[in-house]
Structure 1
């Protein structure tokens, strides 16, 4: 059986446009409205003196630019990164012109320089954000020394003391860097988590389809078992009765051999031993065997052991066959097989209240510096030559198993750091469930198969 790495389920990284034009246009309209109200309020009620006509011209330039864009491009259009940079750069220049006319860095609205850079951090690449940030810092530095003064009605110039001016400049620069870095990191982690959850849903849907297909095949094998046995019995009787007719005898033997072939095909497709309704519940050992089966022929010996934790829990639990459990455990086993030298161990323990599964390999173990981050998507710190670690696989395993009520923990054996630890000295992954969350409770007598609809 072949298996597919979970990393291949990631959506490809593309340069597709991600910025919606309508969003940027609406933000610019909001900025134009704010600038207009502020300029009018400062002129009429605060009695400040500045170049009102030139300010109106700068605000009008932004409005004309917006109207032109809306006339020639639909609001639902997506901008390329270069176009988005040009859009935000225009806003930076327009804001610089407004501040140049109204006191430069002495104007408290210089804080708005952080807005275009933060917007870039949420929607554009790191390079684009750094470019806009550098331009913004250069422009605000220029405004500290070159601007038209902001005056009161009596002609007095409003200007900050030199020390406060430097402090204000430094605060804006630090705020710009901090907010842009935070927004970029948060957006990146959100996007990664979204992609990882999409991959999780994909593998769960695939596992569910395989589970349903197995049920169909097992039901077919169960339903066809009796008619195939009848065909075989009748054909065997015909072979005996047609001993004096070689041609008809050969036909009867062919019928019997084809009935045997049908039985073998259905048995192999149905994973012999499973049957329709019985597929819904399996012993713990069978569930683990099914999860480990794709990795059984990869050159790593898989050991397993099963035991109760107390004398009152001798019977192995019978569990619901849930796709989340099977695929989650399969990813943990794959991770162990990928990094094991020669052996892995799967230990199953249970009590009246708890089920514990522990997967151990004899590989180098998890790097200690990433133990607390295991289960995050796209963690690729666990490497070996020619192989990239199972960061996404561990995330999918953790997500799926926690959905079934499991608590996952990761640890190392006692010999971490050696080139080759001895037996059971490598990585350890442990999943713990409340027994009631997994155990099959429907013990109704099996009846006639129900037709599959939908």
Structure 2
């Protein structure tokens, strides 16, 4: 994102582009390929390999994949550090395999370029340079130290030193070239995407300003005649009431206020005004604003202020559109699927702000709970769900938009069910359905203490 003075979140987190599930799937392919290569080398080419060492190295990859698959949700996106460590493991694992199978004499040594290219595409330059340097270091060590390949009869496979040096040079150059090339192309694509987004936002803002200007111009046109009449009549009264001081002062005040109305309309017509009082509000007020469109849909939406965990006062938070729109989508989803009631719990401390949205419905389907937040997500709907929401296609766009917007403000989100989806004791009015918990660091969305009571000054013209 383009960094601005008012931004509260880091500008860019490129590692968020990579899903853990993607790296796990690629690693499974690599594992099967490594096993197949070893079997072919042993049974087809009669090479003598130490199977025990290969089993340990490949087994480490299998264990890591199993842990990653069962511990983390399917839609987990890696942090910068997490992605760096995952790719560093792949470089280390492949280097260990090459060490026991001839080093750079092994034609599969070129595969070390794969994690380096992914790193350059998905991570920041600092992490990419680190992974590239580690890869070059391992390649250099493999050129000097490795277990030679032997045939079944004990004969050692040896290639001339010039070819060994050529393999080393080719891989090092490949690491540098592919790393720089991948980083450059990905950065240009990302920059263009952000530029298009900024253009769209600018056009949207301009359209809003145009609409505001049109309304103000229409208001000024409609009010122009009555204001002119008031101005004319009040001026005549000022002249006619020279001998009545009190009445003359009243007429003069009317005349001055007519001029003031004219000046206000003129200033609004130029660019509009930014109402500083609308920049932040108490946390409860912001949540009420987000929930308001869904409080009259036949379901009960209870906002429960659980209070502070450490005695601190209710925070004022910035009225960021991402928070309001994201919360509104989550509450809408809860209202859509609840039986009768939705609860929004509000609690805070000096360090964190936490919200929980709970309903008394059936909860999230087990088949999709790990993929909540992915767009265009579908699942087979029961007859009861079809009857309850006949026009709903269930593609997950609403939750995707809400998750994206809220995480952009720094929110940490988790999804769970209050009880088993097939619990036969579910009933209306019980907190047994879906649970969405959001948590922010207070300094990310909260107004600093004392700022909410500080004088704001005059409203300033909107900037296009």
**Normalised TM-score (structure 2):** 0.50
The corresponding residue for 1:38 is: 37
| Matched ranges for 1:119-268 at <5 A | 119-153=118-152, 155-236=154-235, 247-268=246-267
Instruction: Note the C-alpha offset of 1:152.
Output: 4.2
From the superposition, tell whether residues 34 and 241 of structure 1 become closer, same or farther in structure 2 (CA, over 3 Å): same
3-state SS of the aligned residue for 2:75? coil
- The answer as to whether partners of 1:50 and 1:149 remain within 8 angstroms in 2 is no
3-state SS of the aligned residue for 2:203? helix
- The 1-side partners of 2:125 and 2:178 are apart by 13
- The 2-side partners of 1:244 and 1:169 are apart by 106
The corresponding residue for 2:91 is: 92
- The 2-side partners of 1:91 and 1:200 are apart by 39
3-state SS of the aligned residue for 2:146? coil
- The 1-side partners of 2:148 and 2:263 are apart by 93
Q: Which has the larger radius of gyration?
A: 1
- The 1-side partners of 2:149 and 2:83 are apart by 33
- The 1-side partners of 2:84 and 2:266 are apart by 62
- The 2-side partners of 1:256 and 1:43 are apart by 102
3-state SS of the aligned residue for 1:207? helix
- The 2-side partners of 1:135 and 1:184 are apart by 17
From the superposition, tell whether residues 181 and 9 of structure 1 become closer, same or farther in structure 2 (CA, over 3 Å): farther
From the superposition, tell whether residues 258 and 99 of structure 1 become closer, same or farther in structure 2 (CA, over 3 Å): same
The corresponding residue for 2:65 is: 66
Instruction: Note the C-alpha offset of 1:108.
Output: 0.6
Instruction: Note the C-alpha offset of 1:202.
Output: 3.6
**Unmatched tracts of structure 2, length 5 or more:** 272-464
Instruction: Note the C-alpha offset of 1:164.
Output: 1.4
- The answer as to whether partners of 1:9 and 1:199 remain within 8 angstroms in 2 is no
3-state SS of the aligned residue for 1:158? coil
3-state SS of the aligned residue for 1:147? coil
- The 2-side partners of 1:183 and 1:207 are apart by 36
Instruction: Note the C-alpha offset of 1:247.
Output: 4.4
Q: Which moved more, 1:244-253 or 1:214-223?
A: 244-253
- The alignment's C-alpha RMSD in Å is 3.3
Instruction: Tell me the alpha carbon deviations over residues 225-277 of structure 1, each in whole angstroms, 9 at most, x when there is no partner.
Output: 122223334445656676776544543443343223322332343249xxxxx
- The answer as to whether partners of 2:15 and 2:122 remain within 8 angstroms in 1 is no
- The answer as to whether partners of 2:119 and 2:127 remain within 8 angstroms in 1 is yes
The corresponding residue for 1:52 is: 51
Instruction: Note the C-alpha offset of 1:119.
Output: 1.8
- The answer as to whether partners of 1:104 and 1:146 remain within 8 angstroms in 2 is yes
Instruction: Note the C-alpha offset of 1:197.
Output: 3.8
- The 2-side partners of 1:154 and 1:6 are apart by 65
- The 2-side partners of 1:100 and 1:264 are apart by 81
The corresponding residue for 1:431 is: none
The corresponding residue for 1:105 is: 104
Instruction: Note the C-alpha offset of 1:62.
Output: 0.7
- The 2-side partners of 1:237 and 1:139 are apart by 95
3-state SS of the aligned residue for 1:130? helix
- The 1-side partners of 2:260 and 2:82 are apart by 65
- The 1-side partners of 2:230 and 2:206 are apart by 35
- The 1-side partners of 2:14 and 2:119 are apart by 16
From the superposition, tell whether residues 234 and 128 of structure 1 become closer, same or farther in structure 2 (CA, over 3 Å): closer
Instruction: Note the C-alpha offset of 1:72.
Output: 2.8
Instruction: Note the C-alpha offset of 1:98.
Output: 1.5
Instruction: Note the C-alpha offset of 1:110.
Output: 0.2
3-state SS of the aligned residue for 1:270? helix
Instruction: Give the length in aligned residue pairs.
Output: 268
Instruction: Note the C-alpha offset of 1:171.
Output: 0.7
| Matched ranges for 1:406-421 at <5 A | none
- The 2-side partners of 1:81 and 1:268 are apart by 48
- The answer as to whether partners of 2:103 and 2:143 remain within 8 angstroms in 1 is yes
Instruction: Tell me the alpha carbon deviations over residues 177-236 of structure 1, each in whole angstroms, 9 at most, x when there is no partner.
Output: 111111122233333344444443344333333332222211111111122223334445
**Unmatched tracts of structure 1, length 5 or more:** 273-454
From the superposition, tell whether residues 132 and 256 of structure 1 become closer, same or farther in structure 2 (CA, over 3 Å): closer
Instruction: Note the C-alpha offset of 1:167.
Output: 0.9
